[in-house]
Structure 1
Amino acid sequence: MQEKIRLLVNNAIALPRLGIQGYEWWSEALHGVSDVGPGAKFGGPYPAATSFPQVISTAASFNQSLWHQIGRVVSDEARAMYNGGMAGLTYWSPNVNIFRDPRWGRGQETPGEDPTLAAKYAASYVQGLQGDGAGNRLKVAACCKHYTAYDLDNWKGVDRFHFNARVSKQDLADTYDVPFKACVVEGKVASVMCSYNQVNGKPTCADPDLLRNTIRGQWRLNGYIVSDCDSVGVMYDNQHFTKTPEEAAASAIRAGLDLDCGPFLAIHTETAIQSGLLTENDVNLALANLITVQMRLGMYDGEPSAQLYGNLGPKDVCTSAHQELALEAARQSIVLLQNNQNTLPLSPARHRTVAVIGPNSDVTVTMIGNYAGVACGYTTPLQGIARYVKAIHEAGCPNVACGGNQQFGAAEVAAGQADATVLVMGLDQSVEAETKDRDGLLLPGFQQELVSRVARASRGPVVLVLMCGGPVDVSFAKIDPKISAILWVGYPGQAGGTAIADVLFGTTNPGGRLPMTWYPQDYVAKVPMTNMDMRPNPASGYPGRTYRFYKGPVVFPFGHGLSYTRFTHTLAQAPKEVSVPFATLKALTFTNSSSMKMSHANCNALQVGLHVDVKNEGPMDGAHTLLVFSKPPNGEWSHRKQLVGFHKVHVASGSSQRVMVGVHVCKHLSVVDKFGVRRIPMGEHEIHIGINGEEDQQPYTQTGAADPSQIVSKALLCFNDKYIYSSCEESYRLKESGNLNVPPSKTDEFCEGPCLSETNLVLTCIDNIFRNFVFYNRATIQDIKETIQAGCGYGPQRGNFDVAEHLKAEENRAHKVTNHVVLGLSLIIMGRVIF
């Protein structure tokens, strides 16, 4: 038993008699193999690994194939290092938490604020990491973290070890859990990490509903669940969730935890078993999950060199192809935020001398962000620009804290001498990082003053380059007539300087888009970071979060990104309405006038193809990201709009490309109610292609014949409320829970009230159902009959009418019955109604 327990921690012991080697489970590969965890180290023939842009940057590319390709390259290098004895095969990456609050120091590690974007990133990167091997074979084992609702580290005295995230079922289901579900269900990830924080009063690593029921039960994880480092100890030492350490160990393992990052389980599990809090079988189940993943990795198959991927070695790390991919990823990640008078691109012929100014103008390690390793090499912004023109360099500030203005004069002189000025400002890990959340969104210290003074002194155009993970409020720069262009470069990785210069001088046409909203400073002044609500609360003045719910002013919106060329969209093909069949005929009786539960819909093959011609009408070739948003019918659960799909396409100048974006009706057009139940709203769904102008667009409604879905759903509402249920209270409760099981003690209450006494109303409801359904299906007759009998507990004859006789009469009259509902679609391209 002691041996088994010592295998439940990250630094698992060796058991030579069983052929089990000691193993360190903790390695990191957020955007390249990292030495942050003890499982990987650099040295000898493996001095470095390719360092790609930070995740928030590559998310701005909106390019799923790029994410997959980065994952594949990272796993090549990870396998090579494993073969050389320098790394393990279990990597606790990616971080797919939602970037809910712009102050979060770890937002840079995430794919941004949108659940759809984060979900697609998660699945793509995980699939790239784990490989496309046959069967259950894994190239490396990825891990999606930190489950769940973790997005606060240390803000105004509140830290992640003590924070209790109060999250509604609605927000959990439609925001926080979405990327993790995609990781497991679509990405087939081999591991999930639970987080430090509590959710609604319970530590995530000790919550069986989250771990055993959701991750392993509903989502069917084929792998292991690991704690964030020392989080099992945190629930006892910091959160005081249990009275004894043995209870903490037992609660975590019973909840579904398999592996502890830290020594806590190794110390306290045996005593927990002796105390009767755990059984040996509990330990065996956890151990089986761990060893199964190791077997899928081939760790018991002998020498690594003799296995699949055994040919990878030092020659496969930091290759020219890998470094070129890092450069291409950086190019695709850069977002052009503003470009007045088409100032960019700069011309080496006209701008022969460029002043390069700012604390991030000649940095190296800053460019790779956190959870990074040792890069193969660096090109700084200064070095990149110097390859095009003569560069005059003045830092202006010695670091991003920019605590004084003693160097501003030299920077002003340089700007006055140059043909153009590039200011590289922003943040670094001293300001935003793990354990470091920001208090505000302004540039640190005197950076804003430096920018403004240099801009006033400049002789030529001024370009502001922002190197940072989280957003900053640069409203002052947007309205400064001397600042012509603004770029956001995130943390662009080892090749960031080359990519920045390529965009500045037009070798690369920028095509990135913001993966998060850039708020003004006064937003965070009004919104506490501890408020986890996504939706606004008009009563309290709470404005809501992210573009999906927040309606207030922004510095730059989600999805914003300009180009050096001009793209137009033309609809080629799209449906005007979509039929959603019921999963079962009995689901008819659970559908109300406004929505149907997604679980009641037959969602197979319900994907709508939107075919759009993207034309490049400008002077340069370029890549364009087609964004598709949905706006559901108005309702109490609805978001303002929701990203449902995107596609990156390269279009040569003067040509066009046809793009198809798939929209899955159940997945993308559904909303989540306050009970956490996903529903498909009936009625008119607006589909927006592009982001320009849709905020001012008036909803489009079709005219003519009544919408069949409204006729059907109104009849069903009458049927549900007056025929199955006896009171408004019970009707509401049962409809929301989806439960029609009538307790014996409630028979009289349910079945002796209006359900049967209002005979005429009941018959009218049935008549309406048959009269207005648009498809005939004989099975539905029997289904309604069975449902009536089950709901009110009576046979074919009860009260003042004969149910079977009435149904038979309706059948003989050949009234039509439907087994589906219809959703209308409005298509809006760049703010213009198409139909």
Structure 2
Amino acid sequence: MTLAEKVSQLQNDAAAIPRLGVPAYEWWNEGLHGHARDGYATVFPQAIGLAASWDAPLLQAVGTAVSTEARASFNAIGAGHVHERYQGLTIWSPNINIDRDPRWGRGQETYGEDPFLTGSLAVAFVHGIQGDDAQHPRAIATPKHFVAHSGPETGRDSFNAVVSPHDLEDTYLPAFRAAVTAGGAGSVMCSYNALDGVPMCANAALLDTRLRKEWGFKGYVVSDCDAVGDISAFHHYRPDDGQAAAAALRAGTDLDCGHTYASLAAMVGKGELPESALDAALVRLFSARYRLGELGGGDRYARIGADDIDSDAHRKLALQAAQESLVLLKNAHDTLPLRAGLRLAVVGPDADTLETLEANYHGTARRPVTALQGLRARFGNDHVNYAQGAPVAIGVPVPVPESALRTTSGVAGLTGEYYAGADFHGTPRITRTDRVIDFDWDRAAPAASLDAGHYAVRWSGELLPPGPGDYVLALHVDRCFDCDAHDAVRLFVDGKPVLADEGDDKHLQAKLHFADGEPHALRMELLHRSRDGGVRLQWLAPPTAQLAEADRAMHAADAVVAFVGLSPDVEGEALQVEVPGFAGGDRTSLDLPAPQRALLERAAASGKPLVVVLMSGGAVALDWAKLHAEAILAAWYPGQAGGTAIAQTLAGDANPSGRLPVTFYRTAQDLPPFTSYTMQGRTYRYFQGTPLYAFGHGLSYTHFAYAKPTLSADALRAGGTLQVSAELRNAGLRTGDEVVQVYLDAPPSPLVPRHALVGFQRVHLKPGESRRVNFILSARDVSSVDAAGVRAVEPGRYRVFIGGGQPGEAAGVASTFTINGKEVLAP
């Protein structure tokens, strides 16, 4: 290759080299909880929900499904042909940063706060993505973001994480080490932040010495998008793009997501960088492309095709994952499962929204089931009354509910007329009733007879305000961030235009006053002509009117099920949101937003049993609900089958078995400052206070008993392994899964965690059934880290606990053993 050709291959949108037969290749693809951003795909629970399953084999199965669907998309185009973004075989997942602080909006993308749980699930997911043939992977996984990257979102391009040697080795590195050494990950992504003053994508001590030399990593390193440019633009670590690019390449960053590496040719020309540095990176990158078969010459995965996308097996797996992710936090008086025949009032802003199923970094769900739909299907339409009741947060619009929309024939929803072109010429190809206008059509057509790239939709009917007052109507269009053109959208009320945009804005709002609850004619138009990915008709309704509507629904019910929490509109990556409790995608408070708290208080005042279902990407301080609700179920963002799984669990068809992968704190004031990366005072390992709900907590409709703990030895020489086991019995009346957790208490020391998870296993038992559960603890499992960051097995007396949660939080059994001698472990 010429120098220019070499440089072109070191950027994510690698150019074709026709004279060498090298096709163009786009390295950027996503697969956090399903093949993402490339049309219809199976949408599994968000990563934090998958982590709540505590089920490593499940994570491997999900990873297999993700890469199978990515391979199917790739095969539809064929090896050696141009693959656009999100159509390749290099998947930038999983996110295995430690969710050290619940205020971080991207904590939802992680596997929680514990390095052992995160590392174990990462290994399983990577194995699933890549398959069992290292020389011919189904796809390549990319654990990210290396390393110590967990907020805040505002200022992330210049943030400098100050981390002690102890915390780096003890908390931030172990999951990445496991993903590389045990998982065999073929790629790693370096993060935006600096670590102790050195931008991570230019950090040779970690990218070269630790990752490659000490861990034996043979794959390639890709930057987070524009992180190489950040080295000069925001970190000011180097004076210009050329110096920044050279620093990143020398440190071990092979691939630039961005175009800062375009300046490498000039650096070589000036003699400031040897061309051999480019060659070393290119060997790693082309090795990956050859192993994938992306350049042709292999048919190992040729049979994977369109039928494998959102297949019956994958849909079944999505339901299983959603079921296993649900965490029963409280169940006073055995309120759950709900008895047959109950009339239910379903309230809350998260009961009937697509975005709280799909979360972020998602594919397009073909047949998503919201919680409201799931409850109607399970309990019967005539047994479910629905009222939205509140927005997610003050000033944050939510989809206009079906109760406020009516066709001219009196059916809930609006009449949708779908045209084949990006205009309204001719007759509609399809006419149907759309219950709500809350659609994800990212690279997907609204119907099989339409082209995903060009269509127009006109919705018409009536808007039914629940009462008089001031309303905000809003249009939300999922804009593609790098498109030359965008979709046009328009809204008319009573024949008058109130909102219109030709593609310049993502959030459009208009204030209207309605003097009464009489219907108003409504028309909405969408002209789809770009890669924009969907549309929502939203509103902010007067609180008094919404609460009154909720009162009416609850008055006719025997029990209330309230779907409250957060949404991807307020927590996520670099969001443009500044409202009470939220800033830039992060949270400034852990409290349930005030409008939803008011809704719960109104529900409790009804005198009906109250079941709270929390839908969120992280911990919410449900202190009021813990005192006043009869039951609380954490559902996270549960994926395409979330509504079905929730309904089955509330009905008792499925037994809840998830466990918390994060600590639920009572208040953010219990934590160190968000910008502090010290682990003292954070997570169950170092938090000294009393949590609202503990890491590892989760209830069941049955109960389990532990007995007869045994250890393979009472005394262990440093460096040896220890076998531990206990007898587990389902002592209840229902079949269920227990998540057996093993915690180690090391000899007291200022830097040793309170408890450390060292093993876990999900076990399925029928009533009365028993099983002995076995674990092997390695030298690394029983090791600890000193202030200098040195990991060693230390002498002393240890305690091992086996149970359904942390020691002191759940039933279990314990034994003690002694370690003699000391052994320092490799990094």
Partner Cα separation in structure 1 for residue 229 and residue 295 of structure 2: 31
Match of 2:135 in 1: 136
SS of 2:144 mapped into structure 1: strand
Q: Deviations over 1:295-337 (max 9, x none)?
A: 11012334xxx61110111111111111010001000000000
1:660 aligns with 2:774: yes
Aligned letter for 1:420?
A: A
Q: Deviations over 1:10-62 (max 9, x none)?
A: 00010121121000000000010111xxxxx33xxxxx010000000010110
2:661 counterpart (510, 515, 519): 515
2:159 counterpart (163, 185, 191): 163
Say if 1:120 and 1:182, in contact at 8 Å, map to a contact too. Answer: yes
Aligned letter for 2:589?
A: G
1:446 aligns with 2:595: yes
Distance 1:386 1:288, change over 3 A: same
1:244 aligns with 2:224: no
Match of 1:722 in 2: none
Match of 1:812 in 2: none
Q: Deviations over 1:610-640 (max 9, x none)?
A: 2222111111100110000001001233111
Deviation at 1:737, TM superposition (A): 13
Say if 1:442 and 1:472, in contact at 8 Å, map to a contact too. Answer: yes
Match of 1:51 in 2: 43
Say if 2:48 and 2:107, in contact at 8 Å, map to a contact too. Answer: yes
Distance 1:270 1:152, change over 3 A: same
Question: TM (normalized to structure 1)?
Answer: 0.76
Distance 1:298 1:696, change over 3 A: closer
Distance 1:692 1:66, change over 3 A: closer
Deviation at 1:578, TM superposition (A): 3.9
Say if 2:44 and 2:321, in contact at 8 Å, map to a contact too. Answer: yes
Aligned letter for 1:419?
A: D
Q: Deviations over 1:141-198 (max 9, x none)?
A: 11000000000043xxx51111100001110101001111111101100100000000
Within 5 Å, which residues of 2 pair with 1:812-827? none
Match of 2:800 in 1: 687
Distance 1:98 1:701, change over 3 A: closer
1:195 counterpart (182, 185, 191): 191
1:563 counterpart (690, 695, 700): 700
> Can you give the 5+ residue segments of structure 2 that lack an aligned partner in the other structure?
78-82, 397-539, 575-584
Partner Cα separation in structure 2 for residue 113 and residue 195 of structure 1: 18
Question: TM (normalized to structure 2)?
Answer: 0.77
Deviation at 1:683, TM superposition (A): 1.2
Match of 1:413 in 2: 552
Match of 1:28 in 2: 30
Partner Cα separation in structure 2 for residue 465 and residue 608 of structure 1: 41
- 4+ residue segments displaced more than 3 Å: 398-404, 699-703, 735-738
Partner Cα separation in structure 2 for residue 562 and residue 171 of structure 1: 32
Structure with more relative contact order (C-alpha pairs < 8 Å, separation 6 or more): 2
SS of 2:764 mapped into structure 1: strand
Distance 1:428 1:708, change over 3 A: closer
SS of 1:145 mapped into structure 2: coil
Match of 1:464 in 2: 612
Deviation at 1:571, TM superposition (A): 2.5
1:80 aligns with 2:105: no
1:296 counterpart (271, 277, 291): 291
2:638 counterpart (485, 492, 495): 492
Deviation at 1:4, TM superposition (A): 0.3
Partner Cα separation in structure 2 for residue 450 and residue 650 of structure 1: 37
Say if 2:367 and 2:640, in contact at 8 Å, map to a contact too. Answer: yes
Aligned letter for 1:685?
A: Y
Match of 1:610 in 2: 724
Q: Deviations over 1:761-797 (max 9, x none)?
A: xxxxxxxxxxxxxxxxxxxxxxxxxxxxxxxxxxxxx
Distance 1:250 1:568, change over 3 A: same
Partner Cα separation in structure 2 for residue 143 and residue 114 of structure 1: 20
Partner Cα separation in structure 2 for residue 348 and residue 355 of structure 1: 14
SS of 1:122 mapped into structure 2: helix
Within 5 Å, which residues of 2 pair with 1:788-827? none
Say if 2:798 and 2:819, in contact at 8 Å, map to a contact too. Answer: no
Match of 2:308 in 1: 316
1:533 aligns with 2:678: yes
Match of 2:120 in 1: 120
Match of 1:358 in 2: 348
Deviation at 1:379, TM superposition (A): 0.6
Partner Cα separation in structure 2 for residue 522 and residue 529 of structure 1: 9
Identical counterparts, % of pairs: 41
Aligned letter for 1:471?
A: A
Aligned letter for 1:432?
A: E
Match of 1:802 in 2: none
Deviation at 1:207, TM superposition (A): 0.8
Deviation at 1:553, TM superposition (A): 1.9
SS of 1:618 mapped into structure 2: coil
Partner Cα separation in structure 1 for residue 815 and residue 699 of structure 2: 31
Say if 1:684 and 1:701, in contact at 8 Å, map to a contact too. Answer: no
Partner Cα separation in structure 2 for residue 75 and residue 692 of structure 1: 33
Q: Deviations over 1:263-283 (max 9, x none)?
A: 1102x1011112222100000
1:671 aligns with 2:671: no
Match of 2:327 in 1: 335
Say if 2:796 and 2:819, in contact at 8 Å, map to a contact too. Answer: no
Deviation at 1:700, TM superposition (A): 9.3
Say if 2:696 and 2:806, in contact at 8 Å, map to a contact too. Answer: no
Distance 1:12 1:448, change over 3 A: same
Partner Cα separation in structure 2 for residue 446 and residue 693 of structure 1: 34
Partner Cα separation in structure 2 for residue 279 and residue 561 of structure 1: 56
2:748 counterpart (634, 645, 651): 634
Distance 1:270 1:626, change over 3 A: same
Stretch deviating more after TM superposition (623-632 or 390-399): 390-399
Partner Cα separation in structure 2 for residue 57 and residue 396 of structure 1: 26
Higher normalized helix content (fraction of residues): 1
Larger radius of gyration: 1
Match of 1:759 in 2: none
Deviation at 1:78, TM superposition (A): 0.8
2:172 counterpart (172, 176, 179): 176
Match of 1:277 in 2: 272
Aligned letter for 1:109?
A: E
Higher normalized strand content (fraction of residues): 2
> Can you give the 5+ residue segments of structure 1 that lack an aligned partner in the other structure?
36-40, 43-47, 536-543, 582-600, 714-734, 739-835
Deviation at 1:398, TM superposition (A): 4.3
Distance 1:736 1:632, change over 3 A: closer
Q: Deviations over 1:502-531 (max 9, x none)?
A: 11000000000000001112435x521111
SS of 2:732 mapped into structure 1: coil
Partner Cα separation in structure 2 for residue 688 and residue 174 of structure 1: 20
Aligned letter for 1:418?
A: A
Stretch deviating more after TM superposition (400-409 or 76-85): 400-409
Q: Deviations over 1:102-124 (max 9, x none)?
A: 10000000000000000001100
Match of 1:379 in 2: 369
